[in-house]
Each structure stands twice: as structure tokens, then as C-alpha cells.
């Protein structure tokens, strides 16, 4: 990443925030996270960290993995829970109960409700109605102008093949459903 060049995504979108994967499952961590986390702060970017949730692993271990790696500070986005995989060994009800455990632990640590990130159909099939008081980040790469207004989304990931100046590979590109002022109000105090 050429941090000094990060300014525009997909030719027209100003880069107002950067989100990085920090941890995955019970024990895995992203090898680039700590370096990227520091660099984002040095370049005055609103930064966010997400945990890739493994549906068949332990929610307490997963929450503790995230908390051990991520030290959120004033001006950072709330913690982000990325849930995309369907469990093989758990019912939908058990998955929802586990996700609520992860959210409770992380919310108590940071004093902010985590942002729930998932793709559109996972949201419809698993999440909708269960986490309505949490910020929602939807991935929907279909040819739609935006997620449905009834989804009450806060962030929209509209492509995984975006072009961002300063990064020489395709990346996810997202927009926030509000002003820069309201995005800053969402951050950790």
C-alpha cells in the first residue's frame, strides 16, 4: 500500500475510512494488521478492524482473540463482526446465540455496539430481526443502486473488485450511508 496516495476509490469516491481484517476464528490473526493499523493512524484515516467469524468455533475464544489483537482508540470505528459462513454443526438459533455472546463481550470491552457485516442474502436468511439495534454493513455486489431502504444499512460494500489509488490490487469498496460528520459521531469516543 502506498499510504500517501490513498485518496480516491473507483475514480470518484473519497477515502473517508479504511477497514482491515484483524483476526479470524478462535486464534488466527492477520499478519499485516498491526502494520496497516499503525499506518492508517499515521495518515489520519478513520480506521476500523474486523473479526472474521468462523461459525462453528467458540464465540468466547473468538471475542478474546479480537480483543487481544485490536486496541481501538478515540476516532476509530466500533469493532466489526464479519459473518459470512453458514455453520455446519450448529442450528441457526445456536449461531445467533453465539453471535450475541461475541457482540456482548466486545461491546462491554469498547462501550460501543459492534457493526455487523454480512452479505445481503445471509442478512436476509440469518441476521435480519436479530441485531436490529446494531449498525449494519451489507455486501451486495448485484446490479443495484443501493441496498433496499428497508434494510436500514449503515455501510454498503458494492464491489470486491474496486480500484483504489495507492493499492495495486483490486479491493473491496464501500460507502457510508451518511455524512462524514455522522460517520465521525459513530466512532469510539
Q: Which pLDDT belongs to residue 149?
A: 61
Q: Which pLDDT belongs to residue 25?
A: 97
- Judge residue 23's burial from the number of C-beta atoms within 10 Å of its C-beta, 0-12 exposed, 13-18 middle, 19 or more buried: buried
Q: Which pLDDT belongs to residue 151?
A: 65
Q: Which helix (H) or strand (E) holds 117?
A: strand 115-119
pLDDT tens digit at each of 189 positions of the chain:
888 888 888 778 889 999 999 999 999 999 999 999 999 999 999 999 999 999 999 999 999 999 999 999 999 999 999 999 999 999 999 999 999 999 999 999 999 999 999 998 999 999 999 999 999 999 988 777 777 666 689 999 998 998 898 899 999 999 999 999 999 999 999
From first CA to last CA, the distance across the chain in angstroms is 28
Give yes or no for a contact between 26 and 58, defined as CB atoms under 8 angstroms apart: yes
Amino acid at each position: 500500500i502506498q499510504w500517501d496516495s490513498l485518496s480516491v476509490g473507483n475514480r470518484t469516491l473519497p477515502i473517508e475510512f479504511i477497514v482491515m481484517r484483524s483476526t479470524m476464528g478462535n486464534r488466527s490473526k492477520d499478519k499485516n494488521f498491526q502494520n496497516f493499523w499503525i499506518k492508517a493512524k499515521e495518515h489520519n484515516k478513520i480506521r476500523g478492524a474486523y473479526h472474521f467469524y468462523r461459525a462453528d468455533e467458540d464465540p468466547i475464544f473468538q471475542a478474546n482473540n479480537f480483543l487481544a489483537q485490536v486496541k481501538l482508540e478515540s476516532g476509530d470505528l466500533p469493532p466489526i463482526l464479519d459473518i459470512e459462513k453458514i455453520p455446519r454443526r450448529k442450528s441457526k438459533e445456536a449461531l445467533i446465540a453465539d453471535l450475541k455472546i461475541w457482540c456482548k463481550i466486545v461491546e462491554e470491552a469498547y462501550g460501543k455496539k459492534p457493526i455487523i457485516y454480512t452479505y445481503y442474502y445471509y442478512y436476509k436468511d440469518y441476521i435480519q430481526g436479530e441485531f436490529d439495534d446494531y449498525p449494519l454493513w451489507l455486501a451486495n455486489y448485484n446490479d443495484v443502486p443501493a441496498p433496499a431502504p428497508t434494510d436500514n444499512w449503515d455501510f454498503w460494500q458494492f464491489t470486491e473488485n474496486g480500484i483504489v489509488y495507492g493499492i495495486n490490487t483490486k479491493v473491496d469498496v464501500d460507502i457510508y450511508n451518511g455524512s462524514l460528520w455522522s460517520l465521525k459521531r459513530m466512532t469510539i469516543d
